[in-house]
Every structure is written in C-alpha cells, then in structure tokens.
C-alpha cells in the first residue's frame, strides 16, 4: 500500500466511524509512523509502505476508529504553541484552558519575580507554560496522582525547567505551602458533576482519567477545597484563577467572595463562563 492509498482509506474509515477531523487524523498517524511532518508526507505520497509500517498503521487506525483520542496515540498535544507529552493518566490539554494562562500572565511584567502554584497540574501544561513565559517565575506543580507527575516530569525535562519548577505530590485538601508564600494560584481541577456525565463526549468518558474530570457536590467539591485552602497561602494582593464549568460561574463567584475581592469571570470564545479570578484581601 502506498502512502496516498493509506491516507484515503484511513480518512474514509474514520469518517464512517464519526471521528473528528478524519483526514487530519490519517495524516498524523502517517507522520507518527514515518517520522515526518505533513509537508514531508505530501512529498512521499507515492512511497510504498513497508510491511512493518503498514502493520503499525493498521493497529493505530483500529484504535482511533475505536475512539482512542489522537493525543494518546501520538503521545502529544499542543498547548500555547508548544508540544506537551500526555498520557492516559493525564487530561488532554484543551484550547480553552489557555485562557487560564493568559489571565495568569495578564499584568505580570516579564522581569517581575513571582512564586506560583499550579494545583492539579496533570501533564504540567499550565504551570510549565507560565514558567516558560515568565523567566523570573518560580512554580510549584502539585498533583495527587504519581502517574500524572511522571508525565509532568517528562515535560519539565523537555523544556529544561528543573531549576525553576518543583513537582509535588499532594491533594487539594492539604496544600503543602507556607502561609502567605504565594503570589498566584492557578487550577484546572475536576469540576464535572457525576450527574452531568451525559454532557461529556464518549471519548472523554472512555479514555481520560475520571479522577481528573469528576468531583462531588455537583462538581464543586474540588473548587471549594482549593478556594478554602488558597486564601491563607496567598500574599496580600495575590491572585487565584480557577477554570470551571460553564454553569458554575455564579457558585464559584459566591465562594470566592468570602475571602477575595475584585472577582471576575472570563468567558471563552463560545461565550461560556470559563475562568473566575479573585484578589486576596
């Protein structure tokens, strides 16, 4: 089978399986196996695939047909313009989460040294991006999952951030930081209520870690634990930024109002409430 023929076959099969971006997915599988980019792929359309390449491509195609996310097949997902390692133990970074990073950087001069914590770091995409964008930053990246931290460490090494970021194992209920030691806390915690499973895509439910998706109390338990624990840890004037569900904005603002001021909610490109922030009184 030639490269061109596999592209056509894979695109058709993924379209019939109702997978997102079937032609792009076919190209990405080819790039993964052949070790090239999409430009190089077009230059090799008439190349004959080896038996080993064809066998590997067939296996990957079957997995994608079955719903395994592309990011888990390739082991990477782009976030804020950079490739991050991902694994089945971490959420796949979403474009809307870039809002969290943008708000964290907003009003933060590049030369200003600040200490931040990224709670529920997963692959580390949020905290490591902040550290890359603000060279004077020092960050703690915390997660309860040791397996997630293995992936975060791979990304920490990929971007040579061992000197400016520290990975920590810990939960939202027992944050291991000194009183008034942080300038910024960011978090994209589990915030989907168990009763909202019907709103979650099939691929996400089947393959992404439930512990990073779902929380008790209609999805508010992790958000409440972070807000309660964050206040004593932030310096006066320090900020907290939280990603949450599109229907949770009012509840999050109410929780923030007990210890924070200048509370604001940012909407995503679809107009949905996505990130709420507050300033330590």
Task: Retrieve residue 182's tokens.
Answer: 């942080």
Q: What pLDDT does residue 189 have?
A: 98
pTM (whole model) above 0.85: yes
| Main-chain phi, psi angles of 167, to 5 degrees | -90, 135
Q: Are 223 and 252 in contact (CB under 8 A)?
A: yes
* Buried b or exposed e, range 27-50, using 16+ CB within 10 angstroms: bbbbbbbbeeeeeebeeeeeeebe
Give me the residue spans of the domains in the chain: 3-67, 76-280
pLDDT of residue 42 exceeding 90, the answer is no
Separation of alpha carbons 87 and 147, rounded Å: 9
| Residue 81: pLDDT band with limits 50, 70, 90 | very high
Report the pLDDT averaged over residues 100-113: 95
Report the pLDDT averaged over residues 8-22: 94
Q: What pLDDT does residue 88 have?
A: 95
CATH fold for the domain made of 76-280: Rossmann fold (3.40.50)
Task: Retrieve residue 211's tokens.
Answer: 């512990």
CATH fold for the domain made of 3-67: Helicase, Ruva Protein; domain 3 (1.10.8)
Specify the DSSP element, H or E, that contains 280: strand 273-280
Separation of alpha carbons 177 and 85, rounded Å: 27
């Amino acid at each position: 089978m030639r490269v061109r023929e596999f592209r056509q076959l894979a695109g058709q099969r993924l379209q019939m399986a109702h997978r997102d971006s079937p032609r792009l997915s076919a190209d990405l599988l080819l790039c993964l196996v052949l070790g090239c980019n999409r430009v190089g792929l077009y230059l090799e359309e008439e190349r004959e695939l080896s038996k080993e390449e064809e066998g590997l491509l067939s296996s990957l195609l079957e997995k994608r047909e079955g719903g395994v996310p592309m990011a888990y097949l390739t082991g990477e997902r782009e976030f804020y313009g950079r490739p991050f390692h991902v694994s089945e133990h971490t959420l796949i970074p979403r474009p809307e989460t870039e809002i969290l990073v943008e708000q964290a950087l907003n009003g933060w001069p590049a030369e200003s040294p600040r200490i931040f914590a990224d709670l529920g770091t997963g692959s580390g995409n949020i905290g490591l991006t902040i550290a890359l964008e603000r060279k004077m930053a020092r960050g703690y990246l915390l997660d309860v999952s040791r397996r997630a931290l293995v992936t975060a460490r791979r990304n920490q090494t990929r971007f040579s951030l061992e000197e400016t970021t520290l990975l920590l194992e810990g939960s939202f209920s027992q944050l291991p930081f000194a009183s008034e030691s942080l300038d910024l806390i960011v978090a994209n915690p589990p915030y989907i209520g168990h009763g909202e499973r019907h709103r979650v895509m099939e691929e996400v439910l089947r393959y992404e870690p439930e512990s990073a998706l779902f929380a008790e109390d209609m999805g508010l338990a992790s958000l409440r634990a972070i807000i309660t624990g964050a206040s004593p840890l932030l310096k006066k004037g320090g900020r907290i930024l939280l990603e949450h569900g599109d229907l949770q904005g009012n509840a999050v603002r109410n929780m923030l109002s007990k210890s924070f001021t200048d509370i604001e909610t940012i909407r995503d490109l679809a107009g949905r409430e996505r990130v709420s922030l507050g300033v330590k009184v």
